[in-house]
């Protein structure tokens, strides 16, 4: 069996949840489990948080159906609402809470059942300019909504564009706009993602919506634990002479006689191909840098300076990311973000849950 696997920790997910809860103890928590729980597995995440999360937030009806099939009775929020009128009936029978970001979505609900007490989250565009109604139009919008769906519960939601940026000056502007646009009509309000809830207590409102923090993949959450450990093994040891190139294109050239460990992990598993030489992996109690291009099934690690190099043999376990090497670091080295790496683990990678 190929040794490449992810090991998922329930205890770490629950630990991170508790850290997040401590930031916003008075709030309810939508655990964001869209995109297969950021690659961790929808069932794994939902079952682990079933007795903790107040609700689950997903991106589509299919994900919501999977949650209901697991027997979860908590509120489920569709973050982008309905994609087509046909989904309205399913949303109703699954008792979903729906984001409304354009008028057609309201019309679909009217056509399905104008007298049903739909639970709606009006999405306001407070400056991100992705989804939602202009925040400054909220008054007219709500009047219209109330006429169309007189029995709907109406809540308000917006999304922060810059809360995790180092020199963020925009979040306070979004908070102020949200505040102005949602008083007095919104029954409940939700604005904060992980970065918002950690950095801006005044963005908390009634419900917070953490995703990446739950999975322990943001440096903002100190004391976090990695939920996903991406692991494999050494499958060969190679000696290369000074001046010899390594891997496709012979991109990396040994500056001295070197010892390489070849690891069974590559972009065919979700380890990013563009990861820079020098990015650490963890093996035999210390880090060592990857060298040369990452290929589909393998990557090479320079263990010449590793304190335990003479003991490293095929079969040695390697952590590609996890508690020793953070996924945020690997993402940085690959020119991307941890979210993308977590979502990109491929089918063939084995899964272990603990």
Ligand X SMILES: Cc1ncc(COP(=O)(O)O)c(C=O)c1O
User: How big is the site for ligand X, counted in residues (CB under 6 A)?
Assistant: 11
Site string for ligand X, 71-110 (x = CB under 6 A): --------x-------------------------------
In the complex with ligand X, which residue's Cβ is closer, 149 or 195? Answer: 195
> Residue from 109, 156, 212, 325 that binds ligand X (CB under 6 A)?
212
In the complex with ligand X, which residue's Cβ is closer, 23 or 321? Answer: 23
> Residue from 39, 213, 272, 322 that binds ligand X (CB under 6 A)?
213
Measuring CA to CA, which residue among 139, 151, 118, 147 is closest to residue 186? Answer: 139
Q: Give the distance, in angstroms, between the CA of residue 205 and the centroid of all CA atoms in the same chain.
A: 22
Measuring CA to CA, which residue among 131, 191, 199 is closest to residue 155? Answer: 191
In the complex with ligand X, which residue's Cβ is closer, 156 or 261? Answer: 156
Q: Taking the complex as a whole, how short is the minimal distance between the CB of residue 189 and ligand X, in angstroms?
A: 13
153: which 2 tokens?
């519960």
How many beta carbons lie within 10 A of that of residue 331, not counting itself?
Answer: 20
In the complex with ligand X, which residue's Cβ is closer, 211 or 247? Answer: 211
Q: Is 106 helix (H, G, I), strand (E, B) or coil?
A: helix
Give me the residues paired with residue 28 across strands. Answer: 207
How many Cα atoms within 13 Å fall on the side-chain side of residue 135?
A: 22
> Residue from 27, 32, 33, 72 that binds ligand X (CB under 6 A)?
32
Q: Is 122 helix (H, G, I), strand (E, B) or coil?
A: strand
Residue nearest to ligand X (CB): 211
- Torsion on CA atoms 311, 317, 321, 322, rounded to nearest 10: -110
Q: How far apart are CA 236 and CA 272, in angstroms?
A: 21
User: Per the residue annotation, which of 34, 38, 215, 271 is the catalytic one?
Assistant: 34
In angstroms, what CA-CA distances link 13 with 64, 186, 226?
20, 31, 8
Q: Taking CB under 6 A as the rule, does residue 159 contact ligand X?
A: yes
Q: Give the distance, in angstroms, between the CA of residue 300 and the centroid of all CA atoms in the same chain.
A: 28
Give me the residues paired with residue 98 across strands. Answer: 78, 120
Q: Taking the complex as a whole, how short is the minimal distance between the CB of residue 212 and ligand X, in angstroms?
A: 4
Q: Is 248 a catalytic residue?
A: yes
Binding piece for ligand X, criterion CB under 6 A, among 172-180, 198-206, 209-217, 304-312: 209-217
CA 163-119-187 angle, to 5 degrees, is 65
Measuring CA to CA, which residue among 35, 73, 26 is closest to residue 188? Answer: 26
Q: Taking CB under 6 A as the rule, does residue 209 contact ligand X?
A: yes
Q: Taking the complex as a whole, how short is the minimal distance between the CB of residue 193 and ligand X, in angstroms?
A: 3
CB-based contact 202:179 (threshold 8 Å): no
Binding piece for ligand X, criterion CB under 6 A, among 9-17, 211-219, 253-261, 264-272: 211-219
In the complex with ligand X, which residue's Cβ is closer, 5 or 159? Answer: 159
Binding piece for ligand X, criterion CB under 6 A, among 65-73, 204-212, 244-252, 345-353: 204-212
Q: Taking the complex as a whole, how short is the minimal distance between the CB of residue 207 and ligand X, in angstroms?
A: 10
Measuring CA to CA, which residue among 320, 325, 199, 331 is closest to residue 269? Answer: 320
Q: Taking CB under 6 A as the rule, does residue 326 contact ligand X?
A: no
> Residue from 126, 171, 194, 203 that binds ligand X (CB under 6 A)?
194
Q: Is 136 helix (H, G, I), strand (E, B) or coil?
A: helix
Binding piece for ligand X, criterion CB under 6 A, among 84-92, 147-155, 210-218, 284-292: 210-218
In the complex with ligand X, which residue's Cβ is closer, 119 or 209? Answer: 209
Give me the residues paired with residue 353 across strands. Answer: 8
Q: Taking the complex as a whole, how short is the minimal distance between the CB of residue 99 and ligand X, in angstroms?
A: 8
Q: Taking the complex as a whole, how short is the minimal distance between the CB of residue 31 and ligand X, in angstroms?
A: 10
Q: How far apart are CA 98 and CA 118, in angstroms?
A: 8
Q: Taking the complex as a whole, how short is the minimal distance between the CB of residue 257 and ligand X, in angstroms?
A: 45
In the complex with ligand X, which residue's Cβ is closer, 38 or 282? Answer: 38
Q: How far apart are CA 341 and CA 50, in angstroms?
A: 25
Which residues are known to be catalytic?
Answer: 34, 248
**Contact positions vs ligand X (CB under 6 A):** 32, 79, 159, 193-195, 209-213
């Amino acid at each position: 069996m190929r040794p490449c696997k992810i090991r998922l920790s329930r205890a770490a997910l629950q630990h991170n949840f508790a850290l997040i809860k401590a930031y916003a103890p008075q709030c309810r928590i939508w655990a964001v489990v869209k995109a297969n729980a950021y690659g961790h597995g929808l069932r794994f995440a939902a079952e682990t948080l079933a007795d903790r999360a107040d609700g689950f937030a997903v991106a589509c009806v299919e994900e919501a159906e999977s949650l209901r099939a697991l027997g979860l009775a908590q509120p489920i929020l569709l973050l982008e609402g309905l994609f087509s009128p046909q989904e309205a009936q399913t949303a109703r029978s699954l008792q979903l809470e729906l984001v409304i970001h354009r008028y057609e979505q309201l019309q679909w609900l009217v056509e399905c059942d104008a007298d049903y007490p739909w639970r709606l989250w009006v999405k306001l565009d407070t400056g991100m300019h992705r989804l939602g109604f202009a925040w400054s139009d909220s008054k007219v919008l709500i009047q219209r909504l109330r006429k169309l769906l007189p029995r709907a519960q109406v809540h308000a939601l917006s999304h922060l564009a810059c809360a995790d940026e180092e020199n963020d000056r925009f979040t306070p502007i979004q908070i102020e706009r949200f505040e102005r646009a949602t008083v007095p009509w919104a029954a409940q309000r939700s604005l904060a993602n992980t970065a918002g809830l950690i950095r801006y207590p005044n963005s908390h409102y009634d419900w917070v919506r953490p995703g990446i923090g739950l999975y322990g993949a943001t440096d903002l959450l100190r004391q976090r634990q990695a939920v996903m450990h991406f692991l494999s093994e050494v499958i060969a040891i190679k000696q290369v002479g000074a001046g010899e190139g390594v891997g496709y294109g012979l991109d990396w050239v040994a500056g001295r006689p070197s010892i390489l460990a070849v690891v069974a992990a590559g972009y065919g598993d979700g380890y990013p191909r563009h990861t820079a030489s020098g990015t650490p992996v963890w093996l035999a109690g210390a880090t060592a840098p990857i060298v040369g291009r990452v290929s589909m099934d393998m990557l090479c690690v320079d263990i010449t300076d590793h304190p335990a190099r003479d003991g490293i043999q095929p079969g040695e376990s390697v952590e590609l990311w996890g508690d020793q090497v953070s996924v945020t670091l690997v993402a940085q080295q690959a020119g991307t973000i941890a979210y993308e790496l977590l979502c990109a683990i491929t089918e063939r990678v084995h899964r272990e849950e603990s």
